[in-house]
Amino acid sequence: MEYSLDPSEVKKVIDAKVNEQEYNEEQFIYYHLNRNLFNVKKEVTTLTHLINNKFRDNKGNIWEEASRFKNWFHTPKSRYFGSLIGMQPYSRKFLRPDNETGIGGEFEMIIRHDGKRIDALTHEGYQETYNFGRTSNASLHILLDVDPHGPNPDYTIKIDTGKVIIKDKKKELSGTIRRRNRIKK
């Protein structure tokens, strides 16, 4: 069965689930499988480092880079542990509160080491998703996103989300220092 994907309808079901009120589980699973409809698409093409773990995209929105520790579901396990000890991560996770759709969740971009966003066409097992429960509230995120994913991993939205250029100040600074040192010699 298909249900309305109007954000206000989605929000009603999510609120009922969170508040332990009566809701249609089949309808919630339908929303879970279609949740990437609400995530950002190809409109984000660059992220520029501001300070600490904050980045600004080409539209002026502020994103927060999650620690590598929190990227477990979006990284091959063989690469995950190396990323925790300083090796190049397979991917980086960026999050931004959704203050646009009315659902109140969280936009997520998983950007592979080559700049490609990990979507269902790239690698379905590690793909980014729209989060109904913001990751800053672990219990809500587990209830609304993590637990439903196990028995329902086959998302229906399969689109190319494009590439993102990440402009890190650390890399730019290290390049400046290298150029300065070459000039001194």
pLDDT, residue 151, reads 77
Distance CA 140, CA 143 (A): 5
The pLDDT of residue 118: 83
Q: What is the pLDDT along the chain (185 residues), one digit of tens a residue?
A: 899 999 999 999 999 999 999 999 999 999 999 999 999 999 999 999 999 999 999 999 999 998 665 666 656 666 555 655 666 666 788 999 999 999 999 999 989 889 999 877 776 677 888 999 999 999 999 999 989 987 777 777 788 889 999 998 865 544 444 444 455 55
How far, in whole angstroms, is CA 178 from its chain's centroid? 33
User: What residues have CB less than 8 Å from 109, skipping those under 6 apart?
Assistant: 40, 44, 63, 93, 94, 117, 128, 161, 164
CA separation for the pair 167, 143 (Å, rounded): 34
Of the candidates 94, 100, 87, the one whose C-alpha atom is nearest the C-alpha of residue 164 is: 94
Q: How far apart are CA 154 and CA 33, in angstroms?
A: 7
Predicted model pTM? 0.83
- DSSP codes, 66-128: PPGGGGGGGS-HHHHHHHHTTSPPSEEEEEEE--SSSS--EEEEEEETTSBB--HHHHGGG--
